[in-house]
């Protein structure tokens, strides 16, 4: 016998949970189906190494969601009712160079300028101008991230009508490299900002990425880097509590095998174990564009072909999670303390060449290791006196040397740890209680949204952005020819990362169900 409900959501990633939570608050009967034994997709905290050490398996800090009305206005009561708490350490990020030099970015512009001035007074003045420009752009940028994207042609036509708009178009067309070389003269300062932007899984030389520098600086100063108390999964736990508090269900171990479509309308789903869930009003799916045609029979061939042609980032992610006997001690000094710490080579060229290596399926000539040790700020995640470390690096999904990651990931994890020891005093075998490595293949296994180890689902390239993300057909969160089926996930606008982007999907569902989002989508 089928389980009957109003809304069925496929996948418990935070975007799907956000959309489901808004609808549950509006009084709809909601069922969320998750294939894994745990909930949260990329927003999950798990004991990956040894008991008592709670690691953020994927997302670590929640940045862009802070400006989302979901949290900024606490629309669902996640903070006031369901226990979600954030810390905002300062500085949010810091670069540490091989020779021990450091460069931090603070939420306070003048503190950041003072840091940069140690390398170049000219660059400090340039940063002051860049920061001011970023803050001017923030209202427009933030307004565009949490609702459905405007049509690309209309957006460009509007921008082309003013001098300011044309300047923004220019920045949007440039590469990160173009922007930072135009603004900064010192090699270390260029490396610092290039590596920041590289966290979007793109080379600094990728065209149409230059606006990312302004987005990053704008959000860093306006919002900071939110560290969820208890781990990244605290956001998932609050969303699940909200859904259940309003009568919904979130079921683990329930893999959806097929979306049922009747007379051109999504009417439910069937799981791999044969259970049926009928949806009287809508189905929401965190379904990767490469998998859409497998779940929905009879999908328009042109829609399916375009979806399956979407491209992945050349930089796949690999992570090492370490349970530590004691907090990290950096060779550069005790002042190394930030949410995101970049372990950088002494030259900017080394960063660019490492990204070039990835284009050819080769391992980076110089590791691009980033680090978070959030027990610096939230020791509740580990036993007393212990610590966590979360390392990440970029590698090709398909290696030119033919090695498969299942056989090679252990050696690469050791490479990451060995590289990090150049910066950290106490990371020897006696200091690491245990470690866990997720290769790009493991990323893909934990979530179909992370195909090819791409944590953004698909590459954040110009032609896969805005209303064309993942394709022009699917850019408004709906699927042509399949009514009442709605898309969520990192492969939709605004892209990968913790944005709370399911809010935009929920708004689209509310519109079709003739619900008042501003009135009914509030806890």
What pLDDT sits at residue 152?
Answer: 87
The reply to whether CATH 3.40.630 applies to domain 314-448 is: no
Please give the pLDDT value at position 1: 67
For residue 104, give the 3-state DSSP assignment. strand
- Judge contact between 344 and 96, C-beta under 8 A: yes
User: To 10 degrees, the CA torsion angle through 408, 310, 293, 395?
Assistant: 10
**Domains in the chain: boundaries:** 3-60+232-311+458-520, 108-223, 314-448
212's tokens: 């990312």
Cα–Cα distance for residue pair 467/480, rounded to 1 Å: 14
What is the β-pairing status of strands 340-344 and 370-372? antiparallel
Which three-class secondary structure state does DSSP give residue 393? Answer: strand
Summary mean pLDDT of the chain: 96
- Among 317, 431, 414, CA closest to 373: 431
Q: What mean pLDDT do residues 125-135 have?
A: 97
Q: What is the pLDDT of residue 523?
A: 86
Taking the whole predicted model, whether its pTM rises above 0.95 is answered as: yes
CATH code of the domain made up of 3-60+232-311+458-520: 3.50.50.60
Phi-psi region of 452 (alpha: psi -120 to 50; beta: other; left: phi over 0): left
Closest listed residue to residue 502, CA positions, set 151, 75, 44: 75
For 298, left (φ over 0), alpha (ψ -120 to 50), or beta? left
Question: What is the Cα–Cα distance from 387 to 461, expressed in whole angstroms?
Answer: 37
Q: Per residue in 406-417, pLDDT tens? A: 999 999 999 999
CA 391 – CA 212 distance, rounded (Å): 23
pLDDT of residue 71: 98
Q: Are residues 382 and 373 in contact, defined by beta-carbon separation less than 8 angstroms?
A: no
Q: How do residues 441-481 score in pLDDT, each as one tens digit? A: 999 999 999 999 999 999 999 899 999 999 999 999 999 99
Percent of the chain surpassing pLDDT 70:
100
pLDDT at 96 (0 to 100): 98
Q: Average pLDDT for residues 392-402, to the nearest whole number?
A: 96
β-bridge partners, 435? 322
On the question of pLDDT at 253 being above 90, the answer is yes
Contact (CB, 8 A) for 310 and 431: no
DSSP codes, 353-387: HHHHHHHTTPPPSS---EEE-GGGT-GGGSSTT-E
Other beta carbons within 10 angstroms of residue 139's beta carbon come to 12
Helix or strand (DSSP H, E) at 508:
helix 502-512
């Amino acid at each position: 016998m089928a389980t009957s409900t109003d809304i069925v959501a496929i996948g418990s990633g935070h975007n799907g949970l956000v959309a489901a939570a808004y609808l549950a608050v509006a009084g709809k009967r909601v069922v969320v189906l998750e294939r894994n034994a745990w909930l949260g997709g990329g927003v999950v905290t798990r004991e990956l190494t040894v008991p008592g050490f709670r690691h953020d398996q994927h997302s670590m800090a929640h940045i862009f969601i802070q400006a989302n009305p979901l949290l900024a206005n606490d629309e669902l009561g996640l903070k006031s009712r369901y226990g979600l708490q954030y810390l905002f350490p300062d500085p949010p990020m810091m670069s540490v160079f091989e020779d021990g030099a450091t460069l931090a970015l603070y939420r306070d512009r003048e503190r950041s300028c003072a840091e940069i001035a140690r390398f170049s007074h000219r660059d400090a003045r340039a940063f002051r101008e860049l920061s001011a420009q970023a803050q001017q752009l923030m209202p427009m940028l933030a307004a565009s991230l949490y609702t459905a994207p405007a049509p690309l042609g209309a957006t460009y036509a509007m921008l082309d009508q003013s001098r300011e708009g044309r300047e923004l178009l220019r920045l949007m067309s440039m590469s990160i490299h173009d922007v930072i070389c135009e603004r900064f003269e010192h090699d270390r300062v260029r490396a610092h900002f290039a590596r920041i932007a590289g966290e979007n899984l793109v080379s600094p030389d990728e065209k149409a990425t230059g606006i990312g520098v302004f987005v990053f600086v704008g959000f860093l100063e306006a919002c900071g880097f939110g560290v969820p108390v208890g781990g990244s999964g605290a956001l998932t736990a609050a969303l699940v509590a909200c859904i259940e508090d309003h009568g919904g269900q979130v079921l683990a171990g329930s893999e959806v095998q097929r979306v049922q479509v009747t007379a051109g309308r999504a009417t439910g789903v069937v799981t791999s174990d044969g259970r049926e869930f009928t949806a009287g009003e809508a189905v929401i799916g965190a379904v990767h564009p490469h998998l859409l045609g497998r779940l929905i029979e009879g999908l328009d061939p042109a829609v399916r072909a375009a979806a399956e042609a979407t491209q992945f980032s050349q930089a796949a992610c690999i992570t090492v999670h370490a349970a530590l006997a004691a907090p990290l001690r950096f060779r550069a000094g005790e002042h190394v303390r930030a949410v995101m710490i970049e372990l950088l080579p002494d030259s900017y060229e080394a960063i660019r060449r490492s990204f070039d290596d990835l284009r050819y399926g080769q391992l980076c000539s110089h590791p691009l290791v980033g680090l978070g040790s959030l027990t610096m700020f939230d020791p509740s995640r580990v036993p007393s006196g212990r610590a966590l470390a979360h390392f990440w690096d970029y590698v090709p999904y398909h290696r030119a040397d033919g090695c498969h990651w299942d056989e090679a990931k252990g050696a690469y994890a050791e490479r990451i740890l060995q590289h990090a020891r150049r910066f950290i005093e106490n990371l020897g075998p006696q200091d690491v209680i245990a470690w866990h490595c997720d290769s790009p293949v493991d990323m893909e296994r934990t979530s179909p949204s992370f195909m090819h180890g791409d944590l953004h689902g698909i590459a954040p390239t110009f032609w896969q952005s805005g209303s064309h993300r993942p394709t022009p057909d699917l850019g408004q969160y709906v699927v042509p020819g399949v009514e009442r089926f709605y898309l969520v996930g990192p492969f939709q606008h605004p892209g990968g990362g913790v944005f709370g982007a399911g809010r935009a999907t929920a708004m689209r569902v509310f519109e079709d169900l003739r619900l008042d989002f501003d009135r009914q989508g509030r806890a």
